[in-house]
A and B are shown apart, each in its own frame.
Chain A
Amino acid sequence: MESLYAITTGVLTACGLYLILRSRTFPVVVGLTLLSYAVNLFLFSMGGLTTDGAALVDGAGDYADPLPQALVLTAIVIGFAMTAFVVILAMRARSEAGNDHVDGRKHEAGEGRR
Chain B
Amino acid sequence: MSSHLIVLPVVLPLVAGILLLFQRQGSVRVKRLIGTGATLALLLVGIALVARAAGGEVTYYALGDWQPPFGIVLVLDRLSALMVLLTAVLAVGAVVFACAGDDERGSNFHGLFQWQLMGINGAFLTGDLFNLFVFFEVLLLASYALLLHGGGKERIMSGVHYVVLNLAGSSLFLIAVGILYGATGTLNMADMATRLATLPAEREGLVVAGGLMLLVVFGLKAAILPLYFWLPKAYAAAPAPVAALFAIMTKVGIYAILRVYSLVFGEAAGPLANLEQAWVWWLSLGTLVAAAIGVLAARDLRLLVAYLVLVSVGTLLAGIGIGTPAAVSALLYYLIHTTLITGGLFLLAEMIGAQRGQAGTRLVKGRPLRQGGWLAVLFFAGAIAVAGMPPLSGAIGKALLLAAAEGAERAWLWPILLLSGLAAIIALSRAGSTLFWRSTGEADGQRLAHRQWFGVAWLIGVAPLLVVLAGPLVDYTDATAEQLANPESLTRTLLNTEGDAP
Contacts and interface: CB of A to CB of B under 8 A. Distances in A.
A binds B: yes
Interface of A: 20, 25, 28, 32, 35-36, 38-39, 42-43, 46-48, 67-68, 71, 74-75, 78, 81-82, 85-86, 89-90, 92-93, 96-97, 102-104
Given A39-B174, A74-B134, A102-B164, A89 B179 contact: no
Interface residues of B, number: 27
B181 A89 contact: no
A78 B175 contact: no
B108 to A, nearest CB: 15
A42 B176 CA distance: 10
Q: Is the interface of B mostly helix, strand, loop or mixed?
A: helix
A75 B174 contact: yes
Contact of B164 (A32, A43, A81, A92): A32
A32 B167 contact: yes
Given A42-B178, A47-B182, A75-B174, A81 B141 contact: yes
A46 B167 contact: no
A19 to B, nearest CB: 11
Nearest to A78: B137
A85 B142 CA distance: 11
Interface of B: 130, 134, 137, 141, 144, 148, 152-153, 156-157, 159-161, 163-164, 167-168, 170-171, 174-175, 177-179, 181-182, 187
B209 to A, nearest CB: 13
A89 B156 CA distance: 7
A93 B179 contact: no
Given A39-B178, A93-B157, A96-B152, 7 more contacts: A35-B171, A36-B171, A39-B175, A47-B182, A71-B130, A96-B156, A97-B157
If over half of A's interface residues share one DSSP class (helix, strand or loop), that class is named, otherwise mixed; here it is helix
Contacts of A90: 160
B153 A39 contact: no
Contacts of A78: 134, 137, 170
Nearest to A92: B156
Please provide the 5 A-B residue pairs with the shortest distance between their CB atoms, ordered closest to farther: A46-B178, A46-B182, A96-B153, A39-B174, A39-B171
